[in-house]
Structure 1
Amino acid sequence: MFDCSQGSGSGGTSPFASSVSPNGSLGDTNMASDTPQSVPSRVSKSLGAPKPQSSSQLGPRKGHKKSRGGCFSCKRRKIKCQETLPACLNCLRRSLECKYPEVPTHEVDMMTVLRRHMTKPSAALQSTPTLFSMDDMRFFQHFILNAYPHLPVNNSQVWMQTVPAFSHNYDYLMHAMLGLAATHLTSVTNVDYSEAALSHRLLAIQGFNKALSKKIEKKPDGDALLATMYSLTFQSAFMSDSLMEFLIMVRGCVMLSNQLLSQSSIAFFVIDWYSHQQYMEPRLDSLPFVDLSLADGAEASLEALKFVLEDEVNGFYYHELTNVVSGIKVSSKLGYWRLVSIYNVIGMLSDAKFNDFANPNNTIGQILLAHFMALEVVLLPMLEREYEKTFPTNQLINRCSWFDTIEKSVPPEFRHFIQWPAGILNDARARWKSMTPSIL
């Protein structure tokens, strides 16, 4: 049976606890009862019952984290809910209707997003999660040949040779690789592998969260975690309606990379910023200047936004975008370096500020993200230098679908703020659709 239940690790702290950790965990309750089984006392009756200790003798009560995401049935009965989907174990045992409270979109963590969008898992994964189908074999080959992430830069051999060589030791990594490849194949062929892609993605995140709670013990453990995080991030880049997931995953990449570097837990990947610079500097030489009319358009569009920023986090991101535009006016190379540094900005935000900024109801934040997507298009000739092979235009076509979602959500009185990114992205979409390759 395909198991969607979650275990909460206690062996360590995940840097993504607020982003990709599951909502709840299986408790230690007996499966046949809601209350713990009684245990015979070893104290002789002749000694009498022990006197209860006062609260001062016991000391302060140990704190614990309460979950408010349990189903209504468990809340009504005042018992711990496992918070599994489609129904918790308590309701399944008693054949009760299991309904959960609605959670605002910006508060839904990654696991909840995936589980609530999850369709019927593939039969192979449902019955035997460690066995793989013939489609999975195709996904594995496609990952190595066409779908592995291009980041961190200058790690192609690690992705094509080293990661596949040790992936069989890490189920969650294998599922992440297969999920990315399945999503990528769906985007470049006429075959829909989205069901298998989501099944693999769910299993990858489940295993990834468990692995994060454990201590890194052997050489490839850190590389397996990093490869999984990048694969999940790149998969979200090809998924429709996944802008929020993409931002969460980008944040996860930044935080995990910093943690692994500080612990010297990377054996194969080269991920430090200095190495990125060393690799990219010669590849950015002799670049043509960006059309300054595009930079002028971006500058004017952002200038109009200056008076409606509303809060600190929008202002912070706005400042980063204006730095990119001013950099473009100096040189293409400076514009590139300032653009890629924005990804690190997402990882630097506190949980509260990140949630405020990425909240789909933050209209100004969404408009700023639309400007970022448009600036990526403007600087595409520079971004293409990160790749050792053909740039995946289908990934950027998907970014245009994210923009469409933003455009529909913007109130009429704010529509004029997205005219510049709309023009850039719509023009680019028409060009990309005519040149997207098909891999069969």
Structure 2
Amino acid sequence: MHTAGSLQELTPIMSNPNSPNKEEASCDGASPKPARKRAVPGRGHCKSRKGCFNCKKRRVKCSEELPSCRGCRRLGLDCLYPPPPQPALTPSRNPSPRPSTLRLEDLRFFHHFLTAAYPALPFGLDHIWQTVAAMAHEYDFLAHSILGLAAQHLTVSTTSNFSIEALDHRVSAIAALNEALSKTCLSLNDADARFAAAIALTFQSSYMPDGMMDFFRMLRGWMAIQTTLVPAMGESMFHAIKEDTYVKSMRKLLGAAADADEEERRELQQTLQDFMASLRLVAPLCRSAAELHYVASLERIARVCEMSPVNACLELVPFYAVTNDMDADEFANFTNPTNFTAQILLAHFWMLTHVLQRHALGPARASLVRDEIIFQWVETAVHKLPGSHKRYVLWPLGLARLRGRSGNFEGPREING
């Protein structure tokens, strides 16, 4: 049996005129003269599928030169080539960031976004998020971002668990958004869609038990898109989303909150004293300019809270984005998991946020704050600290566990220290 390669070895033997299978004499014994075969047009070369139309019609080999082949130049013809074939799409072995099929859960997520999961702050932007939802079919990253936000919101607000679906949409949204950000923005709608996706991803991270650092990274990306892609905010549908708008929204909510009674005020004063004592213990650990600024700002907000929890809450609004004022190196160092001082400061920040909003907002805060997420962020941050640093987080960790037990919340793990 011959292999495929053997066929090539047999070919010259079959065509050799001296082959023993050939007749060596004619009827009269003279050597026959080989008959001349008539040339067949187009048979003296390999077929080309890229030649011009004129050469194909004439059935001759095209030189395939641009802009005009030799044959067309010689004959004075207009040389036209067929369009290049489009590459065939092949399925990838890796998961696609843009799934082509719609899952039934996605319909539930989309409805939940429209009715409950769209970003709650600033107030009065419901109609904008309705418009964003209508734009989602044009932008993959926007669709994935709002579905991921809704899935995560359902997970923390109901007994259903869609954390896997939320993460799938989040990964797809970030991959598609990064691809979009690498290209030029062609319209204001393009900029608004990217801005909306960044906001949705930021809010989603605020509902993720392990999303503390993601929250600050997304918040920083949100601000970068706002200042670079949407410079003409007056023309954007998000022109109302500014720092002063958030402050006004919080002031409106604070105005509707009930006044605290005397016992609550005493409790708050004691909590603030404990916070200040813990912060004084942490302050000597701060070395970088970012850390020093952070601890000083926390102390200032606590001082304001001693006089007015409402004003302290208003001071807290811009403080959420204080990490946006850091340069790239400062931010990378501050969010590095091995920067234990920053982790300790963040644990204090989140528990101060919980305390302020609990006393200043009262029942009105239920739609804005997920206490169990804050408690898990504190637990997770403390768990990663070495034993030598556990004493610096006794106040935030103790308060998180105390409030967690009163709300029937159990931390993700038991931490000694």
TM-score, normalised to structure 2, is: 0.68
Q: How does 1:62-77 map to 2 (within 5 A)?
A: none
Residue 345 of structure 1: how far off its partner (Å): 0.9
Aligned residue for 1:244? Answer: 213
Change (3 A) 1:192 1:343: same
Residues 1:340 and 1:382: Cα distance change in structure 2 (over 3 Å): farther
2:142 equivalent among 173, 185, 188: 173
2:314 matched to 1:337?
Answer: yes
Corresponding position of 1:59:
none
Q: Do residues 211 (structure 1) and 188 (structure 2) align?
A: no
Q: Does 1:328 align with 2:298?
A: no
Alignment check: 8 A CA contact 2:351 2:396 kept: yes
| Alignment RMSD | 2.9
| 1:223–1:269 CA contact under 8 A, matched in 2 | no
* Mapped contact 2:155–2:162 kept (Cα < 8 A): yes
Unaligned runs of 5+ in 1: 1-39, 43-88, 93-119, 435-440
| AA of the residue aligned to 1:405 | T
User: In structure 2, do the counterparts of structure 1 residues 399 and 275 end up closer, same or farther at CA, with 3 Å as the change threshold?
Assistant: closer
On the 8 A contact 1:384/1:391 being kept in 2, the answer is no
For 1:279 and 1:405, locate their aligned partners in 2 and report how far apart those are by CA, in whole Å.
31
Cα gap change, 1:287 to 1:220, in 2 (>3 Å): farther
Equivalent position amino acid for 1:421 in 2: P
State the 1:204 CA deviation. 0.8
Alignment counterpart, residue 383 of structure 2, candidates 392, 408, 425: 408
Following the alignment from structure 1 to structure 2, what is the Cα–Cα distance between the partners of residues 404 and 176? 27
1:324–1:339 Cα contact (<8 Å) kept = yes
| Alpha-carbon distance change, 433 to 269 in structure 1, aligned in 2, over 3 angstroms | farther
Which residue is 1:139 aligned to?
109
In structure 2, C-alpha distance between the alignment counterparts of 1:315 and 1:377, rounded to whole Å:
22
Residue identity in the other structure for 1:154? G
The answer to whether the 8 A contact 1:260-1:266 is kept is no
Q: Supply the distance in 1 between the matched residues of 2:114 and 2:188 (Cα, whole angstroms).
A: 22
Q: Post-superposition shift, 1:269?
A: 5.1
Counterpart-to-counterpart distance in 1, 2:213 and 2:401: 21
Are residue 311 (structure 1) and residue 288 (structure 2) matched?
yes
Q: For each residue in 1:26-65, what CA deviation from the matched residue of structure 2 results, as whole angstroms up to 9, or x when unmatched?
A: xxxxxxxxxxxxxx999xxxxxxxxxxxxxxxxxxxxxxx
Percent identity, aligned pairs only? 31
Larger radius of gyration: 2
In structure 2, what residue type is equivalent to 1:345?
V
Equivalent residue, structure 2, for 1:199: 168
Tell whether the 8 Å contact from 2:185 to 2:229 is kept in structure 1 after alignment.
Answer: no
Residue 365 of structure 2 is aligned to residue 365 of structure 1: no
Query: 1: distance between equivalents of 2:318 and 2:363?
Result: 14
Displacement after TM superposition at 1:430 (Å): 2.6
SS at match of 2:272: helix
8 Å CA contact retained: 2:246, 2:317: no
| Pick aligned residue for 1:281 from 238, 241, 251 | 251
Task: Output the TM-score relative to the length of structure 1.
Answer: 0.64
Instruction: State the secondary structure of the residue aligned to 2:225.
Output: helix
Greater shift after overlay, 128-137 or 254-263? 254-263
Q: Using the alignment, how far apart are the partners of 1:341 and 1:273 within structure 2?
A: 7
Query: CA 1:148–1:382 in 2, change beyond 3 Å: closer, same or farther?
Result: farther
Match of 2:199 among 218, 224, 230: 230
Give how far 1:386 is off.
12
Q: Does 1:151 align with 2:128?
A: no
2:399 to 419, 424, 428: 424
Residue 379 (structure 1) aligned to one of 347, 353, 356: 356
**Structure 1 residues 382 and 213, CA, compared in 2 at 3 Å: closer, same or farther?**
farther
Question: Mean Cα displacement is larger for which, 284-293 or 174-183?
Answer: 284-293
The answer to whether the Cα contact below 8 Å between 1:280 and 1:385 also exists between their aligned partners in 2 is no
Please give the alpha-carbon distance, in whole angstroms, between the structure 2 residues aligned to 1:248 and 1:355.
10
CA distance in 2: counterparts of 1:149 and 1:279, whole angstroms: 13
Distance 2:228 2:371 in 1: 29
Structure 2: which 5+ runs fail to align?
1-63, 67-91, 410-417
Aligned to 2:277: 300
Contact 1:357–1:365 (Cα < 8 Å) also in 2: yes
Q: Which moved more, 1:198-207 or 1:256-265?
A: 256-265
Structure with larger RCO (C-alpha < 8 A, sep 6+): 1
Q: For 2:394 and 2:186, locate their aligned partners in 1 and report how far apart those are by CA, in whole Å.
A: 52
- Give 1:339 deviation, angstroms: 1.5
Distance 1:353 1:386 in 2: 37
The 8 Å contact of residues 360 and 366 in structure 1, kept in 2 or not, is answered as yes
For residues 403 and 202 of structure 2, the distance between their equivalents in structure 1, rounded to whole angstroms, comes to 23
User: Closer, same or farther in 2 for the Cα pair 1:268/1:237, shift >3 Å?
Assistant: closer
Aligned partners of 1:383, 1:205: CA distance in 2, in Å? 35
**Pairwise CA distance, 1:382:** 6.9
Alignment of 1:5-84 (within 5 A): none
